[in-house]
Structure 1
Amino acid sequence: MNVERALQILKDNGYKHTKQREKLLEILSLYDQYVSAQNVWKRLQEEFSGASYDTVYRNLYTMAELSILEYTVLNGEKHFGFHCETHGHHHHFICKSCGTMTPIDVCPIEKVESNLPNYQIDNHFFEVYGQCPSCQINQC
């Protein structure tokens, strides 16, 4: 996913192209990890000092609903990152120290489905947390 593609998805879903949304996406494109809404807001305020945290959070959440972004919860706070399009269905290992996300190509949903006969599963969420090799070495 890139900024231009994300802006097109927003437009296709009835959302206007604004400079703030574009900058928000540009900020997220700088990272290969999940970023807290708080950090995105602080970076956005460098250019748009009047941007409210609530507006930033609503935009991030809307973009997640449109599958532009993915999110996870780290230390009790939602962190956002661009949706991975190149890996197909996958899950992530997320470093609790630096936030780096690494795709995991296995999915436990078949095992879950076999344990829940006659249930309809609409969606699922699976992530693994720990420390990446770099943070283990550097003790981040």
Structure 2
Amino acid sequence: MNASQAIEILKENGYKQTKQREMLIQIFESKEKDQYFPVKDILEEFQHEFPGASYNTVYRNLYTLVDLDILESTTLHGEQLFRLHCDTDGHHHHFICTSCGRTKPVEVCAIDQVNQSLPGYEIKNHKFEVYGTCPQCK
């Protein structure tokens, strides 16, 4: 995902291309693509350009970008983290390093087994993440 693709997704879904949304996307585009970042780090960078911006404004825009699949989010150590949607094609999940926040796609999914164990239930969505330490942090 890059900034122009993200802006196009916003427009296709009826959202305005605001300077604030552009700035948020640019912040993520400038960061490592395989790592999640906490809201406080994003807010700090965002406030260089928009000093009066509140935590709630940034958070609300981040969740709009998550809803549009421009960003991905996860919770690590009780903190909400965000990153640009990864470029891995197809259905996949992630290994997330608990030290540095870097991710690696996991191509295995247990949803078929879960479906078999829940006859009669309709699963709308799922999320599977594996946590541990990456080779660089070991």
Pairwise TM-score range, normalised by the shorter structure? over 0.9
The one-letter amino acid of 1:113's match is N
SS at match of 1:46: helix
Alignment map for 1:1-140 (pairs within 5 Å)? 1-29=1-29, 30-32=31-33, 33-136=35-138
What is the CA distance between 1:16 and its match in structure 2?
1.1
What is the CA distance between 1:21 and its match in structure 2?
1.0
Equivalent residues of 1:87, 1:103 under 8 A apart: no
The one-letter amino acid of 1:22's match is E
Question: Which runs of no fewer than 5 residues in structure 2 stay unpaired?
Answer: none
What is the CA distance between 1:31 and its match in structure 2?
2.3
Give the Cα separation in 2 of the matches to 1:31 and 1:53.
Answer: 23
The one-letter amino acid of 1:60's match is L
Structure 1 length normalisation: TM-score? 0.93
SS at match of 1:73: strand
The count of residues paired between Structure 1 and Structure 2 equals 136
Question: Which runs of no fewer than 5 residues in structure 1 stay unpaired?
Answer: none
Percent identity over the alignment? 56
The one-letter amino acid of 1:10's match is L
SS at match of 1:10: helix
Give the Cα separation in 2 of the matches to 1:12 and 1:79.
Answer: 25
Q: Which moved more, 1:8-17 or 1:56-65?
A: 8-17
Q: Which moved more, 1:31-40 or 1:93-102?
A: 31-40
Structure 2 length normalisation: TM-score? 0.94
What is the CA distance between 1:85 and its match in structure 2?
3.6
* C-alpha RMSD of the superposition: 1.0
Give the Cα separation in 2 of the matches to 1:88 and 1:82.
Answer: 16
Equivalent residues of 2:88, 2:105 under 8 A apart: no
SS at match of 1:31: coil
